[in-house]
Structure 1
Amino acid sequence: MHYTAGAPAVWDAAFADADDCLLSSDQCVVKAQHHFVKGLIEIPVIGTDELFSWAVWVSLSRQNFARAADLWETPGRDSEPPYFGWLNTELTVYSSTTLNLKTHLHTRPLGERPFVELEPTDHPLAVEQRTGITVDRVREIAEAVLHPAGGGRR
């Protein structure tokens, strides 16, 4: 019911020792120029009270990243307006790329990962976020993620 990306799509293991790069479980900076926060794309599972989620990386402007980072451990941070960003995680279970989909990152109370709201387009991921997915679709995603030799993009 939950899958996570370890790093943004633009991250390279060679960045790990660079002074101008950082990768933590929640935030990432690449070459002091690109800034990312990890959030959740939550998708209702039809006929249940459960949510399926993708933990993904969203690129933010330097200004929005600085603001989010400044408030990261601040109670009440969830009253912040959402930050505009671009999805920077490739989810290969979708037939078209998920890179650079427009998003809004909503901070939540301390201890909760931000919520990623996708722009309401006709991209299959955005449609699923709006309309939900079936339990069968959850199984299909699990099969594709856990056994990628079977296919990648569908």
Structure 2
Amino acid sequence: MTTDLGYTCTCCGERHDELPFAYGAPAPAFWNDSLAGTPGNVLEPERCVLGGTHFFLRGRLVLPVLDAGDDFEWGVWVSVSRENFLRAEELWDDPARVSEPPYFGWLATELPGYEPATLNLKTNLHTRPPGERPLVEVEPTGHPLAVEQREGITLVRVQAVAELLRHP
């Protein structure tokens, strides 16, 4: 998702035509390309299994943007129990999955620009209708990511994220 908001980058001084409002991780932090095609390891667009014992689902961690018409979104991975992973697979195409209680999980994505780190924050994964990624709710603590999810961010913060990712 992007808006038509452009911005002048404080890092390089260039004018960028769009301010992105979404970023995503292609795989859980624990994945590496050498695992591809080996037994017990699967990386799909929405699901991942490592070593046949660690299970991950992809979700949307949404932050309200207080001074814009769009929300900001991190595409993240959450480590869930085997039981919840199998339950999610069982209900993958079932509209009734929206009635599922949230699945407890651990954030399995290291988001840039947060201190302390975001890896292994406690989360709840809320299922959505088929075809929609689950919503990820960070445990309401004092961690900066949890505070941003609870209280929202501003366009200045969205631009800071864009600059951080454009100029790591």
- TM-score interval w.r.t. the shorter chain? over 0.9
User: Is the Cα–Cα contact under 8 Å of residues 45 and 135 in structure 1 kept in the other structure?
Assistant: yes
Q: Secondary structure at the match of 1:105?
A: strand
Q: CA deviation at 1:47?
A: 2.4
CA-based RMSD of the aligned residues comes to 0.8
For residue 24 of structure 1, what is the aligned residue in structure 2?
44
Ranges in structure 2 where 5+ consecutive residues have no aligned partner: 1-20
* Letter in structure 2 aligned against 1:56: V
For residue 55 of structure 1, what is the aligned residue in structure 2?
75
* Letter in structure 1 aligned against 2:81: S
Instruction: Tell me the TM-score normalised to structure 2 length.
Output: 0.86
For residue 93 of structure 2, what is the aligned residue in structure 1?
73
Q: CA deviation at 1:111?
A: 1.1
Q: Deviations over 1:76-130 (max 9, x none)?
A: 2111100000001001211211011000000001111100000000000000000
For residue 127 of structure 1, what is the aligned residue in structure 2?
147
The more displaced of 87-96 and 27-36 is 87-96
Aligned length: 148
CA distance in 2, matches of 1:55, 1:87: 11
CA distance in 1, matches of 2:69, 2:44: 31
Q: CA deviation at 1:48?
A: 2.5
CA distance in 2, matches of 1:121, 1:33: 29
CA distance in 2, matches of 1:23, 1:37: 10
2:106 is equivalent to residue 86 of structure 1: yes
Q: Secondary structure at the match of 2:95?
A: coil
* Letter in structure 2 aligned against 1:89: T
After TM superposition, the runs of 4+ consecutive aligned structure 1 residues lying more than 4 A away are none
* Letter in structure 1 aligned against 2:106: W
> What is the 5 A alignment of 1:72-151?
72-148=92-168
* Letter in structure 2 aligned against 1:69: E
| Structure number with larger C-alpha Rg | 2
The more displaced of 90-99 and 57-66 is 90-99
Q: Secondary structure at the match of 2:164?
A: helix
Ranges in structure 1 where 5+ consecutive residues have no aligned partner: 149-154
Instruction: Tell me the TM-score normalised to structure 1 length.
Output: 0.94
Q: CA deviation at 1:49?
A: 2.8
Percent sequence identity is 55
